[in-house]
Amino acid sequence: MKIINKKILAKTQITKIVQFKLDAPAIAKKAKAGQFVVVMATEKSERIPLTLVDSNPKEGTIVLIVQEAGFSTKQLGEFQEGDSLYSVTGPLGHSTEIKNHGKIILVGGGVGIAEIYPVAKALKKVGNDLTVIIGAKTKELLILEKKLKELADSLCIATDDGSSGRKGFVTDILDELINKQRYDLVYAVGPLVMMQEVAKRTKERNIKTLVSLSVLMVDATGMCGCCRVSVGGETKFACVDGPEFDAHLVDWGELGKRNNVYKKQENHICRLNNL
């Protein structure tokens, strides 16, 4: 569903990470964990896929989190409470299969923490035992720590500089946990290299692992083919077949090359914008 001119009811900013609360009753009514929306800041803006971090059908609101990284996300970050976005389309993608798996580890890296929150919330509701691992470059970039701590049976934190939790990577903590005991499922969202490393470690121990892929998208309806990814030797589209896939079947090498195809142009536009 495409909603035109959606008003920003609240904005919270922590460094380069921005949280928006939007008035979007039609989307809030249908939103499920694991789904996303596509946002356009203005009529001429790029279409940006963002995870549905939270929704409240009674209020008619949804919550989105975006990291100001490129030209379009920085443009979105300039919007303030009371402003209206040009369009919000969704909910899109398949929702997460919510059932009682047993013992689960959820791994969130950087802004990927925003994506594991709604999944953790839904999985906990049906009785799963949740261990959550979150990580970022520094303490200032950690998000939703308090909310995840309230949900999780155990919360582990890693930062590159050691400013919060332990110094190191989320995969270091994951290694320790899966070496000590058996888990029924690992769910990971974050930078591609992080998810690839998670997949490598869990595959060695034969632990079912799902990843939610943050890849390049244009129309997000399966028409353009921009978000195609090879999974188990088959071509899939992250927007309509995903965004979640079996981490052990993803062709990570191909996906990495595809996701970086416009990096040079993106950096050029960002430099021009900062002149």
Sketch out the chain's domains with CATH numbers. 2-92 (2.40.30.10), 103-259 (3.40.50.80)
pTM of the model: 0.92
pLDDT score of 162 more than 70: yes
Percent of the chain with pLDDT over 70: 93
CB 202 within 8 A of CB 133: no
- pLDDT value at residue 272: 41
Residue environment code for 214-232, b if the CB has 16+ CB neighbours within 10 A, otherwise e = bbebeebeeeeebbbbbbe
Among residues 96, 93, 98, 97, the alpha carbon closest in space to that of 241 is found at: 93
- On whether the CB atoms of residues 152 and 67 are closer than 8 A, the answer is no
Classify residue 112 by its DSSP letter: G
CA distance 130 to 223: 37
Distances 252 to 74, 80, 169, 190, 275 between C-alpha atoms, Å: 28, 37, 19, 13, 35
The whole-number pLDDT of residue 219 equals 82
Q: What is the mean pLDDT of residues 67-81?
A: 91
Q: What is the mean pLDDT of the chain?
A: 91
The three-state secondary structure class of 162 is coil
Phi/psi at 28 (5° precision): -60, -35
pLDDT in tens, 97-120: 999 999 999 999 999 999 999 999
Question: Which residues is 39 bridged to in the sheet?
Answer: 48, 88
Q: Which of 67-76, 126-135, 266-275 has the highest mean pLDDT?
A: 126-135
